[in-house]
Structure 1
Amino acid sequence: MTQKDKTILVVDDQPSLVRLVRDNLESRGFRVTSASDGKKALDIVENDKPDLVVLDIMMPGLDGYEVCRRIREFSTVPIIMLTARNDQESLVHGFEAGADDYIAKPFHANELLARIDAVLRRSEYTEVNKYSPSFTCGDISIDFVRHEVTKKGAVKQLTPTEYRLLYYLAINSGKVMLHADLLTKVWGPEYSSATDYLRVYIRHLRTHLEDKDNEPVYIITVPGVGYVLKCPQAV
């Protein structure tokens, strides 16, 4: 799929911002659709299946956090959240709701375009383990070709960012991956110190893959250093 085939849903109750984002995205060849409230946004995501959602947090009715959580109940579409607040609490709240990235208002159009390009690249990640098309770790199996993750035979619906993080842990299983290395590989070099991103997404993966996410046996924290994926035969 080329960039001209991609549709971006912009969700914001400020017509001037929607118009600004639309003009900049369309000038880059994207198709753009919009919604001014959360309910309409949910309908568009479910029925039209856009390739990415740019989602404002502060909206009447359903706020962006709730819209993001509801989207994650049925879709792994990449989501970039927009907010007027740039504090750590808001950032973590957005990632816990299921967002893939986060940008604070006011923002430069080029910054938003760069974030969209980066998130779309992650969502299309097609690298296959050069040694094997699949990976098994205890009850967890990863099909690198289909990008499918199962535990005890049940398919786990991972977002593109969650899958990409698990991929790097899996192909380096048994080795401690440093915080900065994981952040650089999954999000890009500009995120190498954004440990809050990593902490939230490790928590997401544990929710999917661990029997008790507060007593992990697969994704292990090495305090102050990083994380390691341990398999039963390596324990």
Structure 2
Amino acid sequence: MKSVAIALSLAMGLALAVPARAAAPITERTEKVKLQGKKGPRLLRPGFQLGEYEGYYGGVSSTTAMPFFKGSKAKVEIHVTSPSLGEIVVYCGGGEGRLGLSWITFKHDRLQYVCTFEGAKAGVDAAFAMARSKGTFISRLQQPQRAGELRFGGRTYRLETKVVESGLPLTGGGTIGYIFSRDGVDVGAMDLNGLNFNAYLPAKDSGDRDAAAIAALIVCFLKDDAD
């Protein structure tokens, strides 16, 4: 018995001595899916394809910045369909969100970018809110700092602006990318740096894939005075 106890003690000591392996980067743990354009139902309703998620959107100007964080008139409507979701409609615009976002540490504007949802798979408490920092003009040229929260399918996700893929920023001062997390674990991302927009989605059998795709589409079509 004494030898068994010594062996167990040595095994525990070795386990404690070996550092835990850091989680692989989100780009290595997810599926890279390119956001592609396609023909929409009419001229001002362009279509999109993101893996198995497809649909169309409207209400966004591609030539002028729309101050979502300074008023509530500018809006975007996103229609999304997929085998797992059925049909979801997302309505977004500037306003005051019902999500507290008390976990955000930086100082941010009172007005937020908020979204509401239609569709059974979104969940009865589905909501989205994004806050932008009150950073200096120079810091906003580098990358607008934003953080937000998505409640979707009965789960809560956090979104934060971060560089997703390495390389020189090519957005002209706009947002480079977002990381999506749930319970402190990164589950997806959206890379907005460069000519192509790429989402990093969990595996198709993951319960987080639908929410990550919705989050990616929201931040992709987000337009404000910093973009």
Larger Rg: 2
Under a length normalisation based on structure 1, what TM-score does the superposition of the two structures give? 0.24
More strand by share: 2
The structure with higher relative contact order (CA 8 Å, sep 6+) is: 2
More helix by share: 1
